[in-house]
Amino acid sequence: MTAGQQTPPSPQRLKVARVAISGFFLVNGAVLANLLPRLPEVKDAFELTNTQFGFLVIAMPLGSILSGMAPAPLMRRFGSGPVAGIGSALLAALVAVASIAGGIGGGAWLLAAYVAPIALAGMLDAIVDTAQNAQAIDLQKTMGRSILNSMHAIWSLGAMLGGLMGSAAVALGVPLTLHLSLSGLLFAALALVAQRFSLQRAEIGGPRRVVVDPDDGPRPAPHAAADAPSPSSSKIRPVVIVVMISVIAIAGAMVEDLGINWSTLYLIRVLETPAAAAGMGLVAMMAAQFIGRLLGDPMVDRFGRVRMAQAGAAMAAAGVGVVAVAPHPAVAILGFALAGFGCATLVPSAFHAADSVPGLRPGAGLTLAGWLLRTAFLIVSPLVGVISDSVGLRLAILIVPLCALIAVLVSGALKERETAPATEEHAAASTRS
């Protein structure tokens, strides 16, 4: 039976697949978030300045960049389900290995022993992130309605859960290595179970459905051959579109990066928050982001990705501004929550748009957007660290709302979509279960 003749998955099967794919996102958010409330311990263990800490936390995005364009061929070879499941389990193991050196601290050799597995975890994170988004996008197109924001909401829920687990471990005095080994074992097992029930190749072998954005308006008919763009422009234009889309994703991810890498340190060092409560900035951001993403799918369906991106990026910029001027930890935590709600739909919408850009090989737009997203992380945290050592962390974090405001200006890039239904040949090639 050919790909075009296959029977679509039943509604019950799609529900099971949705739960399984949600498991991938939950694990990805929770594994790393368990480490985040303990980063000040790691900083102190290695006696790092803010600048040095800023470079330390880019070990993971540096590793993700080294993964290059690997996710797309890996998904074509093995399928996105196995890549997401096995990759998530290995990611959890690497974070646990890094915690051994992080719990001891000391000289350069132990610092290298911490950085190396974290960098490898970054490589896996880039691959897993692309694979789990591919699963979600294929499910979204099969169902014919927006679900990607709700999937990313589960990531936020996982990050919130991980942040709470990490904060509880700090409050209870659980050793870093024991804490991350137990949490890693738990989430690795969950990822492997999710893989078992994720979408399989045969289930998405038919023509992929395209979700129409309300902002897009009527779809134009395909141009005649005489009006076709030149070969050179047809190759360059899709890449330019993905780059523009990636700016929006970068803005959303910069807000997340602020919460992930700097919120705990900001609350402790700038606002003198007790260590056991300092993880609440991250938790508040992830909780608000979770709510924003749950509401995001119906709002995107109603208002369109462009309007949602404009409003969300502006709200995120305002939230970080509140954090920068906060006189009290409670005010800063509210600011983190506002920023988290604002950035909720930016990355999911950008990933959906990047995966739908015509003229690219299956998975290439999504992979390129993810790669550019992680490249930005190499600049953000070191820049915050360098600026904070000069003028303080309050002023340093203001580079984040600046990027969010740029995202408002380029949000029109989210209008780009396929202009014609996918052929069966393309559909078969684009299978990434």
| Percent of the chain scoring above 70 in pLDDT | 87
CB 185 within 8 A of CB 92: yes
Q: 6-20, 24-38, 345-359, 419-433 — which is least confidently predicted?
A: 419-433
What is the average per-residue pLDDT within 250-279? Answer: 89
In angstroms, rounded to a whole number, what is the distance separating the alpha carbons of residues 119 and 126? 11
CA distances 317 to 108, 340, 393, Å, are 38, 10, 16
Mean pLDDT of 143-158: 84
Give CA separation, 418 vs 57, 161, 221, in Å: 37, 37, 11
Nearest residue to 322 (alpha-carbon basis) of 308, 309, 307, 340: 340
Distance CA 384, CA 400 (A): 9
Q: Which residues contact 398 (CB under 8 A, 6 or more apart)?
A: 320, 321, 324
Amino acid at 6: Q
Given pLDDT bands bounded at 50, 70 and 90, which one contains residue 224? very low
Residue-averaged pLDDT of the chain:
83
Confidence (pLDDT) at 6: 61
CA pair distance 383, 402, nearest whole angstrom: 14
The confidence score (pLDDT) of residue 5 equals: 52
What pLDDT score does 116 carry? 94
Distance, in Å, from the CA atom of 43 to the CA atom of 41, rounded to the nearest integer, reads: 5
Q: Map tokens 């915050």 to a residue.
A: 384
How confident is the model at residue 96, as a pLDDT?
Answer: 94
Q: Are 88 and 31 in contact (CB under 8 A)?
A: yes
Q: Cβ distance 285 to 253 under 8 Å? A: no
Instruction: Provide the token pair at 343.
Output: 């950035």
**Residue 47, helix vs strand vs coil:** coil
Q: By the 8 A CB rule, do 389 and 49 touch?
A: yes
Over residues 155-170, the pLDDT tens digits come to 889 988 998 999 999 9
Q: How far is CA 59 from the centre of its chain?
A: 16
> 301 pLDDT exceeds 90?
no
User: Using one digit for the tens of pLDDT, what is the confidence trace for 169-190?
Assistant: 998 999 999 999 999 999 999 9
In the numeric block, the tokens 């999504």 are attached to 366
Terminal CA-to-CA distance of the chain, rounded, Å?
18
Instruction: Select the more confidently predicted residue: 214 or 413.
Output: 413
Distance, in Å, from the CA atom of 163 to the CA atom of 168, rounded to the nearest integer, reads 8
> What is the maximal distance between C-alpha atoms in the chain?
71
In 231-373, where do the E strands start and end? none
Detail the DSSP E strand segments found in 56-188. Answer: none
Smallest CA-to-CA distance from 183 within 217, 212, 159 is with 159
Q: For the chain, which domains are there?
A: 8-213+234-429 (1.20.1250.20)
Q: Which residue has the tokens 């990047």?
A: 354
CA torsion sign for 250, 380, 388, 273 is positive
Question: 137 vs 194, which has greater pLDDT?
Answer: 194
Sign of CA dihedral 124, 113, 263, 371: negative
pLDDT at 221 over 50: no
The two tokens of residue 143 are: 């169902």
Task: Please give the structure tokens belonging to residue 350.
Answer: 């950008």
pLDDT at 419: 37
Residue 65 half-sphere exposure, CB side, CA atoms within 13 Å? 13
pLDDT at 233 over 60: no
